[in-house]
Structure 1
């Protein structure tokens, strides 16, 4: 005797359309989860590639290493991609605020800086005295010079902590190559030139032949422990350890100097958002599966009643319904997993084929495609996760239908009165549009089916909006862009800018906002006297700096300040403090002054309370920080403390790019009328950073549109199921005289109601999802702006999908014979 479970396959074959609809829902769910999991790996790889281009493909750098220390580091088994360079010297680029750093890269160490060594003309230097530099740097130093010409540079080199003046020298270098312009260094005021092998040994005294060694760790979980162990082995001071924070934050790695606000920039928050969105996709698919199974079980209620009457128990009915789902899942599994994996890479490969590979630091489109196909999607984890999650959600969706089948009474089921119809109290009124009224009546007659249909559409809208809300988490360039203020930096290091001149600049029609900085640096004179009256004693090597910045910037310099503290900063009774950078000399830590929040200090007779301690000093012209105490005060308090009102540096922000060229022409004339002034544009660097993110945004849009398509198909699937399961009802309506046109309008009204109601609910749920994603990224509860455009886009598409998925099945049903539709089982 055959097992009762063989009935599962027979029922699936008997109800072909219902089985096909469930199969479609399972297939779409498997494709969605597998594609989402695979895309996380691809997007993370590209995000890391973007971050590596900003500050080097390295985790950390140890500075001022001897030859023996460099070799010890290179031979450490815990490290990989170890490479070293030597600082040859630096010089100012003309009258700009940019500094050119000349470095000799040992071995293949230049490979760690993919944005530096890209040649436009000539070849990289190979011998002592040869140099390669970018075209824009060359324009500052020797306009018109090219490959083969001689470039004479006056360079200065010093140690990080040095008790001797910098070593200065002049040397004629031979230009062997012109590099591609790289504007990323504008944010920090630096540009890089490459020197040939042996240049350092030929030009520098022995005390300056020290290495900066870059490396990665083979494992990331114990990164900081390895750093600490290496520093101890090499007896390396903390100030000689540099972390590549852009790349480390992108990878979500922990390190000693990680700021409190950095956690939100890591990829784990995007992964968390992916989990949220994936759950919504699965819930939408699960609702479709539940809807179809519930209808299927309801239509086979007499069969289940018969099974119960001949001895079938609830456990067997559970197994029967579950087995039907598992059979369909096994059919959907192979094509769903394969299509999900291929679509994830296929979408991104198709998108990148239209883009400039240089933006992803690849030499060609083929290299970029290789990076994508070789990314971490090759593991089975995303595929297995997609399969397991889809199966889990599908079984959950099938549980209510199986429970319903197992609880049916044999007597009621076989008598044909499984459903009890209760007539609700009706209100009489004028019917203005019969089709709209009948559509509302149909929706209220089957509230469960209506709720499931609307929920499926709501999930699709929410998924679409939520996917867009976390796309900004992919951007690793945000932190680099925050390294500078405004679109320009206008500097005068001599007399400064008079307030009248700054007001003239601020009143230009192109200027939307203007940030300002005033800075005075005070040091001990030769006789041991200090020019300011302070109520505490500085160390002999410490300077005292007063930085005056505009009030809005001052309040935001240290996040988390109370309203009372902000008011104290504004009215000039409080200040922020940057403490000296501690260092050691001959193995002994040097004594230094240290203030803390809550302390009180007096400057020229004015008492100030320390409102907080900042980690980043205010500097002018991208210059280095003169070690000591720096206080940050309001613009007006600066004038009181110093007796000066001149601005050291100003940062204009333009309304847009339309009039930038005209503004720059006027700005040059304005600087010429203020002797000692010069300006630097950040437009090119911001454009390069923004374009880098634009490309990743396009790739993520491929995923957004793909999952949006799945949501659209789920809407069609749900609405089609809602109509198809009412074939008998439609036949009866036509039999009693309803025309095909009226039937069309009824179901079109019903589809419109589905879409409009779901759009309203979806707008709220998508805003809530956006709220949680923004909170995760910022690590603070904050109300994001309402995503109006994405909601309108998703709502419009959802309404159109409802109307279209209503129209097409009705067209085929209205062509069927009325008797056939009434007698139809499927």
Structure 2
């Protein structure tokens, strides 16, 4: 065959419908890979923007620096975005559970916090003694805001480098502006207040004038080593270094927190992104493989003739590969153009469907700039998607090419490539011939049926799994986790009777309540064998419910639960070591024993988590965490100091709030706080990511539907001869329709069952990226039902369309049709 490669082009022209179907499959594969590649990059960019917007545009904070250390840091060439601030302390807002954290930023420091510096009225403080507070804090202070009005606040400031601890004072300010409400700080009981430069010098003693510095590290590849080197250069204690974990997690940067969870979380999210991308590519590759395989089988006699006249297997292999290259040359550029347009449309929809002032941009100009930046950022992702699409197209063609090359001429010309093995089976009546014949058809060509089911299976799996993937991208989940419940009721001194908790639990709108009993003692106020080295260190006895114990100690078995309930075990939070201060305070380890009021407890675990009442800071010292009734025995108290209330999704919040208010009114010194507005504000910052994610899900679902329709259409179109013979032996059009509809139903049924299970398992894996445990109880029922319905409708529609055109062909034409 001197010109055997020319035969490839002739084959394409002789089977235009098959060629069109294959080109469509490759186009859709390229579109999908391009959109997914660009959308995942955009999603990651938005996730980073969300983290930067919510928590500040910096990586690291160095706390309590002296002037020499500040000057060295300002000269440091390895960092950028250096901003400084001084803390004037916290001012507790009476009966609110919220404290105002008063900070003095320099100009560069304010630039790192664009979200919290947005003004509702007036201007940011420019001069000493000027202050700007949020509108909600002013309302809690029972003040009607008026620019220029005097505001007096009682403040408490502490420094880790000052042995004497905290400093209390009263300061008078002039209101320069009202900040936009920020409820996200409610989860930690703090709201930001800003003062003008020079204010701290007027009120704080010199030993408290120790600024903190926030900055970015220029080289993220050498992030931790750079930070460690700067720490050594400045001779800082490790306790003076803190990280913007939300931002660094979103950037995928590993950093040393002293715990292993952070790196594991980044790794899990990266793995999930690769798994989702791989599933998309496999779904596209299976469709291409299926269509090519059907095309090769249809032309098998032609390949047999070529082998009979002297063609070598390698030449047939090259014919198939050349056809795929021709298909790719036509389809991939078209798919790339469509993919670029589609991904741009999805991104623009996500960024413009909601008002920009509620999201990660401040105005329309910034929004347009953000849109303009995405194409440049995603060029690598687009090229990657195109190359991967081509590789998968070629990979999908190799099995078909190999199949064409290795079949013998005799078998190919005879057209009998399947050996039928009949099994002995008991005769039984056929209740539904059409359904029975459809099942026989699926079994007659198991490879074709399997690939068709796999194509649909992949699409269903992706559809179900992507619903969970969006949650992993939400960086505000880490902030939300700092709070417990939808409401909290707190009483620091007297406490609340347990009967009030029972009254709340009985309300239909309340899902469950976790609670805490809390007592703190100075050395000598309670009998214990603990040693306290600093005057400010305290012993805290904390009683919690079993759910909270499970969170602190997840590996607790039934015997351990009994031991906690019997009062033989406890969990400990050790005191924080203060930089430059020698402390003799007891540092407990697992299996140590501690005696409190003549009750000996064994330390079962040491936790890094600090339990504190809402709106109060954590006091340094030793926390002894025990079960509820054990606390009563150790302290002689039984009142509840904090209740965290979790609501049902359909609950009437106004009724529950009314009941909460009644409880607070009856118990002097108690207060309550709603986290509803904080949740709404955090959710708003995630809206762009959610909309873009839904756009991606719907687009992938649409492409998946087109792929399945293409596969089933090709499947039926290649069986025209078979359909003609069935009609020739007496099968009417109605039965023919029902047989193929049953085939489609079987495809949808098998794929839906397997795809739902696989999607559910992948969802569990995805959710585990943000949780410490594997939760198999959260079944994505709605996505599974939607995917199953779409699969069924797709298969039925894909079956009806080709049959509608074939029913117009007469029997002779069907049998004699040349493919």
Decide whether the 8 Å contact of 1:774 with 1:784 is kept in 2.
Answer: no
Which stretches of structure 1, 4 residues or longer, exceed 6 Å deviation after superposition?
A: none
- Shifted more, 187-196 versus 240-249: the winner is 240-249
Deviation (angstroms), 1:722: 0.8
Decide whether the 8 Å contact of 2:160 with 2:579 is kept in 1.
Answer: no
Quickly say closer, same or farther: Cα 1:508–1:442, change in 2 above 3 A.
closer
Quickly say closer, same or farther: Cα 1:755–1:649, change in 2 above 3 A.
closer
2:484 corresponds in structure 1 to 485
2:549 corresponds in structure 1 to 554
Q: Within 1, Cα distance between the matches of 2:779 and 2:155?
A: 54
Decide whether the 8 Å contact of 1:487 with 1:654 is kept in 2.
Answer: yes
Decide whether the 8 Å contact of 1:45 with 1:376 is kept in 2.
Answer: no
Q: Within 2, Cα distance between the matches of 1:778 and 1:825?
A: 59
Q: Within 2, Cα distance between the matches of 1:592 and 1:423?
A: 81
Q: Within 1, Cα distance between the matches of 2:459 and 2:376?
A: 25
Decide whether the 8 Å contact of 1:183 with 1:685 is kept in 2.
Answer: yes
Q: Say whether 1:440 aligns with 2:439.
A: yes
Deviation (angstroms), 1:583: 1.7
Quickly say closer, same or farther: Cα 1:514–1:358, change in 2 above 3 A.
same
Per-residue CA shift, 1:720-767, capped at 9, x if unaligned?
001111122333444455444443333223222222232223233333
Q: Secondary structure of 2:404's match? A: helix
Q: Within 2, Cα distance between the matches of 1:504 and 1:747?
A: 61
Decide whether the 8 Å contact of 1:290 with 1:397 is kept in 2.
Answer: yes
For residues 573-584 of structure 1, what are the structure 2 equivalents within 5 Å?
A: 573-584=568-579
Quickly say closer, same or farther: Cα 1:509–1:420, change in 2 above 3 A.
closer
TM-score by length of 1: 0.93
2:422 corresponds in structure 1 to 424
2:15 corresponds in structure 1 to 15
Per-residue CA shift, 1:552-579, capped at 9, x if unaligned?
2123213334443333222210111111
2:229 corresponds in structure 1 to 229
- Equivalent of residue 620 in structure 2, options 604, 627, 639: 627
2:98 corresponds in structure 1 to 98
Deviation (angstroms), 1:220: 1.8
Decide whether the 8 Å contact of 1:345 with 1:373 is kept in 2.
Answer: no
Q: Within 1, Cα distance between the matches of 2:6 and 2:340?
A: 33
Quickly say closer, same or farther: Cα 1:382–1:297, change in 2 above 3 A.
same
Q: CA RMSD in A?
A: 2.6
Decide whether the 8 Å contact of 1:60 with 1:242 is kept in 2.
Answer: yes
Quickly say closer, same or farther: Cα 1:589–1:119, change in 2 above 3 A.
same
1:81 corresponds in structure 2 to 81
Decide whether the 8 Å contact of 1:42 with 1:372 is kept in 2.
Answer: no
Deviation (angstroms), 1:160: 3.1
Per-residue CA shift, 1:484-542, capped at 9, x if unaligned?
22222222222222344444444445433222222222213xxxxx1333234332433
Decide whether the 8 Å contact of 1:36 with 1:274 is kept in 2.
Answer: no
For residues 229-378 of structure 1, what are the structure 2 equivalents within 5 Å?
A: 229-257=229-257, 259-263=259-263, 265-266=265-266, 268-375=267-374, 378=377
Decide whether the 8 Å contact of 2:217 with 2:223 is kept in 1.
Answer: yes
- Equivalent of residue 728 in structure 1, options 721, 737, 740: 721
Q: Within 1, Cα distance between the matches of 2:502 and 2:772?
A: 38
Per-residue CA shift, 1:765-804, capped at 9, x if unaligned?
3333334434555465553544332222111111111111
1:527 corresponds in structure 2 to none
Q: Secondary structure of 2:685's match? A: helix
- Equivalent of residue 757 in structure 1, options 750, 755, 778: 750
2:532 corresponds in structure 1 to 538
Deviation (angstroms), 1:251: 2.8
Decide whether the 8 Å contact of 1:577 with 1:632 is kept in 2.
Answer: yes
Deviation (angstroms), 1:433: 4.1
2:46 corresponds in structure 1 to 46
- Shifted more, 98-107 versus 71-80: the winner is 71-80
1:572 corresponds in structure 2 to 567
Q: Say whether 1:57 aligns with 2:51.
A: no
Q: Within 2, Cα distance between the matches of 1:169 and 1:421?
A: 94
Deviation (angstroms), 1:71: 2.9
Per-residue CA shift, 1:561-619, capped at 9, x if unaligned?
4443333222210111111111233xx64444211001112112111100011112222
- Equivalent of residue 737 in structure 2, options 738, 744, 748: 744
Quickly say closer, same or farther: Cα 1:758–1:706, change in 2 above 3 A.
same
Q: Within 2, Cα distance between the matches of 1:662 and 1:773?
A: 36
Deviation (angstroms), 1:428: 5.3
Where structure 1 has 5 or more consecutive residues not aligned to the other structure, the ranges are 525-529
Decide whether the 8 Å contact of 2:472 with 2:767 is kept in 1.
Answer: no
Q: Secondary structure of 1:221's match? A: helix
1:513 corresponds in structure 2 to 512
Per-residue CA shift, 1:89-148, capped at 9, x if unaligned?
331113211111222220132222232111112222222222211111111224222223
Q: Within 2, Cα distance between the matches of 1:562 and 1:599?
A: 20
Q: Within 1, Cα distance between the matches of 2:532 and 2:367?
A: 55
Quickly say closer, same or farther: Cα 1:193–1:715, change in 2 above 3 A.
same
Decide whether the 8 Å contact of 1:130 with 1:195 is kept in 2.
Answer: yes
Q: Within 2, Cα distance between the matches of 1:764 and 1:23?
A: 32
- Shifted more, 32-41 versus 403-412: the winner is 403-412
Q: Within 1, Cα distance between the matches of 2:416 and 2:646?
A: 72
Q: Within 2, Cα distance between the matches of 1:147 and 1:133?
A: 11
Decide whether the 8 Å contact of 2:300 with 2:415 is kept in 1.
Answer: no
Deviation (angstroms), 1:288: 2.5
- Equivalent of residue 600 in structure 1, options 593, 600, 608: 593
1:677 corresponds in structure 2 to 670
Q: Within 1, Cα distance between the matches of 2:659 and 2:773?
A: 42
Quickly say closer, same or farther: Cα 1:650–1:292, change in 2 above 3 A.
closer
1:459 corresponds in structure 2 to 458
Q: Say whether 1:175 aligns with 2:175.
A: yes
Quickly say closer, same or farther: Cα 1:501–1:386, change in 2 above 3 A.
closer
Per-residue CA shift, 1:284-327, capped at 9, x if unaligned?
33332222222322232233223323332222211111111122
Quickly say closer, same or farther: Cα 1:331–1:86, change in 2 above 3 A.
same
- Shifted more, 751-760 versus 371-380: the winner is 371-380
Where structure 2 has 5 or more consecutive residues not aligned to the other structure, the ranges are none
Q: Secondary structure of 2:466's match? A: helix
1:132 corresponds in structure 2 to 132
1:163 corresponds in structure 2 to 163
2:799 corresponds in structure 1 to 806
Q: Secondary structure of 1:475's match? A: coil
Decide whether the 8 Å contact of 1:770 with 1:784 is kept in 2.
Answer: no
- Shifted more, 452-461 versus 766-775: the winner is 766-775
- Shifted more, 79-88 versus 396-405: the winner is 396-405
Deviation (angstroms), 1:709: 1.1
Q: Within 1, Cα distance between the matches of 2:649 and 2:332?
A: 51
Per-residue CA shift, 1:174-195, capped at 9, x if unaligned?
2222111110000010011111
2:108 corresponds in structure 1 to 108
TM-score by length of 2: 0.94
For residues 182-193 of structure 1, what are the structure 2 equivalents within 5 Å?
A: 182-193=182-193
Quickly say closer, same or farther: Cα 1:658–1:739, change in 2 above 3 A.
same
For residues 747-786 of structure 1, what are the structure 2 equivalents within 5 Å?
A: 747-775=740-768, 777-778=770-771, 782-786=775-779
Q: Within 1, Cα distance between the matches of 2:635 and 2:778?
A: 43
Decide whether the 8 Å contact of 1:142 with 1:151 is kept in 2.
Answer: no
Name the count of aligned residue pairs: 817
Quickly say closer, same or farther: Cα 1:504–1:434, change in 2 above 3 A.
closer
Quickly say closer, same or farther: Cα 1:784–1:194, change in 2 above 3 A.
same
Q: Within 2, Cα distance between the matches of 1:381 and 1:460?
A: 26
- Shifted more, 195-204 versus 599-608: the winner is 195-204
- Shifted more, 182-191 versus 3-12: the winner is 3-12
